Amino acid sequence: MSVTIKDVAKRAGVNASTVSRTIHDHPAISDKTKEKVKKAMTELGYSRNSAAQMLASGKAGAIGVVFPPVANKSEQPFFMKILTTINEEARKNKITVSIATGYSNATLLSQVQVMYQEKRVDGFILLYAGKADDVRNYLLADDIPFVVIGTPVERVNEITAVDNDNKLMSSEATQYLASLGHKRIAFISNVDSGEVFHERYLGFRMKIQALGLTGQLLRTIEDFEVGSATALVVLDDVLAIRIIQRLSEQGIVVPDDVSVVSFNNSIFASLTHPYLTTFDINVTQLGHRSVQKLVHLLAHPEDYREKVIVPFDLKVRESTKAI
C-alpha cells in the first residue's frame, strides 16, 4: 500500500498541509519543521509519483461537480460545455469526476454529504454562486475544499471563485451599442435574481448613466414589446434567440430595426440567422482554472482564497448594426 501525505504527517507530528507545503518548499514552514518532515518521508519511503498523491486527503483521487438546483439545465449549453472542460483538466491531473444534481437544495446537500463522507471525492466544484445555500454552508462548516464558478455574494474572503467580470462585460456591451449610434437601449432578462443577472444589469445601468443615454429593464412576458429601444442587451444567447423570434412575429427585424447583443457565445449563437453578436465567456478556461484551483486547495488546504478572473471577448456578427 502506497504511503500518503497523511502517513508522513502522522509520523512527523504535523498537519497534512504542513507536509504539502514542505514538499513545495513554502517559506512559511521553518527549516526545523522541514527537516522533521523530510526525515519522516525518508523513513516511510514516501515519493510523489502521481497527482493523486498530491491531494491532501490522499484517498479518493476524485472531485465532485455540483450542478445548480434548477429544472432547465438541459436548455443551457453552458453546463455541458463546462463539464466537458472540467473532465479534460481532471484527466490531465489523473483524477476522476463525479456529478451531483437535483431539483432542490435538500437533494443536492444529501448527495454532497454522501459523496464526501463515503470518501468518494476529495473536494467540489460548484457550478453556481450568488447567495450561500445549504450545500455551501456545509462545505464551509466542515472545511471541505471547494471552488465556485461564479461570484459569491456572501463570505467572499472564505471562497475561491472563478468567473468573468460580468459587470465589465455588460458595460462593454452597452458601450459597443452606443458606438453604433444607439441612444435608447434596453436590458432584457427572464429572471430578476442571481449574481449573473445582478452583475450584468448593474454594468448596463452604470454605463447608460455614464453616457447619458436612455435605458430600461424589460421582462420577457407574453405581451413583451421593445417600445422605443433601438438596441437590446440580452441576458444570454438562448433568451436572445427567443427574443429575436418574438420580434419577428411582431414584424420587427434584427438588426435592421433593432440591434441585439448577448452573452456566452453558445452553440446557438451561430445556428440561425441573424448570427448573434455575443460575448465569448471562455468556458474552456473557466473549467480548466476551476480544476487547477481545486487541485491546489487540496494540496494546500490552508492557503488563501481568491477570485480568479477569466477574460472575455466580443464576437461581432449579424445581430448588430450602426444607425
- pTM for the full predicted model: 0.78
Q: Do 62-163+284-310 and 166-280 share a fold?
A: yes
Backbone angles phi, psi at 34, to 5 degrees: -60, -40
pLDDT tens track of the chain, all 323 residues? 567 788 889 999 998 888 878 876 677 889 899 889 889 888 887 765 434 444 444 568 899 999 998 766 556 788 999 999 999 999 998 899 999 998 899 999 999 999 999 989 999 999 999 888 899 999 999 999 999 999 998 999 999 999 999 999 999 999 999 999 999 999 999 998 888 999 999 999 999 999 999 999 998 866 788 999 999 999 999 999 999 999 999 999 999 999 999 999 999 999 889 999 999 999 999 999 999 999 999 988 888 899 999 999 999 999 999 99
CATH number of 166-280: 3.40.50.2300
Residue type, 1: M
CATH class, 5-49 region: mainly alpha
Residue type, 123: G
Domain boundaries, the chain: 5-49, 62-163+284-310, 166-280
**67 CB-near residues (< 8 Å, 6+ apart):** 73, 79, 99, 100, 101, 102, 108, 127, 128
CA nearest neighbour of 292 among 128, 140, 150, 86? 86
Distance, in Å, from the CA atom of 60 to the CA atom of 294, rounded to the nearest integer, reads 14
Distances (CA, A) of 197 to 54, 62, 105, 166, 312: 38, 32, 20, 9, 17
The CATH architecture one would assign to domain 62-163+284-310 is 3-Layer(aba) Sandwich (3.40)
Cell of 51: 497527482
SS3 content of the chain, % helix, strand, coil (to 5): 45, 15, 40
